[in-house]
Copies of this chain bind each other. A is one copy, B any other.
Amino acid sequence: MIIHLQPNLSEEERQKIIEKITRFGYKPNLVTTQFAEYLVAIGKNEFDLRQIGGMKGVKDIHRVTDSYKLVSRKWKVNSTCIDLGDGIMIEEGKCAIMAGPCSIESESQIRKTLDHLKAEGIQIMRGGVYKPRSSPYSFRGLGIDGLKLWAKLAREYGIKIITEVMQSSQIEDMFDYVDIFQVGARNTQNFNLLDALGEVDKPVLLKRGISGTIDELLQSAEYIFSGGNERIMLCERGIRSYENAYRNTMDVNAIAILKEKSHLPVIADPSHGIGLRNYVESIALASLLAGADGLIYETHPQPEKAFSDAQQTLSFGQSSELTRKVRAITQLAHNDFMLS
């Protein structure tokens, strides 16, 4: 049950509501985000919602039977739009694009990528500075210095930055240089990291776990929201399956379902979703029609020389072609599907 509280509630009013919901047998969790205050009440007893709904200080009350609450569309029917500043938005029907290399490697690589993005009208650059790698002996990224350099350059171009954070202790150092914190597939259920990101007023893109369920993804998003941060994007990046003809199985079903279950934007990662460069375009477009609100993909000035994920990284030519088609599909969907 979600009790949406009025702004500027007095402590006394808040306590009265908490006491009453507790008397009904519910365990209240007070959630204060950038935007509002909520009581998430966990319990099972039946009662007339108006007994709470009519109280002073209650804006609205909703029954949500899902295992996740605040991220559910059951209480917030309209899709969430995330404002990155400077007029850059993640918004339903607009297909935001986030593109860039797997790893940040050098100033030259960053500049070339920014040039490409600028030319294509892409407003968000992806790249890794802390890289989760299966082997301890692999390249693990340029770290905070790489991020600072990247941020300086990106701001020159007016382009936003999304990059992965791997543990809570990195957040403070990274904060000033990052526009979107990305949580990787290996950390979807790193609950301490999620808790920490809940306390940050910056958007978070949360990837689905390597074999994570849709329900687990939504509950992990609930950690961030209930920690205080409403600005969350969900990301489908393929799941692990028995099939060996490609890297991961892009789960377009999950995109369609996430869009219905949650009000949060859903971003598709076709690079990891199939893991083979030549098919990234097809999977990107398929994801869009399954309902994705945006794309995140890997592109690099010289894909075959990338430090990591070379086999799934697009050339700039392929990236331009994909961008063109994304725009055509988005336009078609806008003109023809929505207004039907």
Contacts and interface: CB of A to CB of B under 8 A. Distances in A.
Instruction: Indicate the size class of the contact surface on chain A.
Output: 35 or more
A204 to B, nearest CB: 14
Interface in A205-255: 209-211, 213-216, 219-220, 222-223, 226-227, 238-246, 249-255
Nearest to A70: B136
Given A289-B289, A340-B321, A42 B137 contact: yes
Contacts of A216: 134
A327 to B, nearest CB: 10
A77 B243 CA distance: 25
A279 B254 contact: no
Given A243-B239, A278-B260, A191 B215 contact: no
Interface stretch (A96-104, A144-152, A166-174, A300-308): A166-174
A274 interface: yes
A53 interface: no
Interface in A282-300: 282-283, 285-291
A118 interface: no
A256 interface: yes
Interface stretch (A15-23, A44-52, A182-190): A182-190
B253 A246 contact: yes
Interface string A137-168: 10000000000000000000000000000111
Given A243-B239, A289-B282, A290-B283, A135 B67 contact: yes
Contacts of A186: 189-191
Nearest to A42: B137
A273 B253 contact: yes
Nearest to A252: B286
21 contacts: A29-B136, A68-B135, A134-B189, A134-B220, A136-B219, A213-B243, A214-B243, A239-B243, A239-B249, A241-B241, A245-B254, A249-B249, A252-B252, A252-B286, A255-B282, A256-B279, A256-B282, A282-B291, A328-B332, A328-B337, A332-B332
Given A213-B244, A286-B290, 15 more contacts: A40-B137, A134-B189, A134-B215, A136-B222, A136-B223, A137-B226, A186-B189, A187-B190, A245-B253, A249-B251, A249-B253, A285-B290, A286-B286, A325-B336, A328-B336
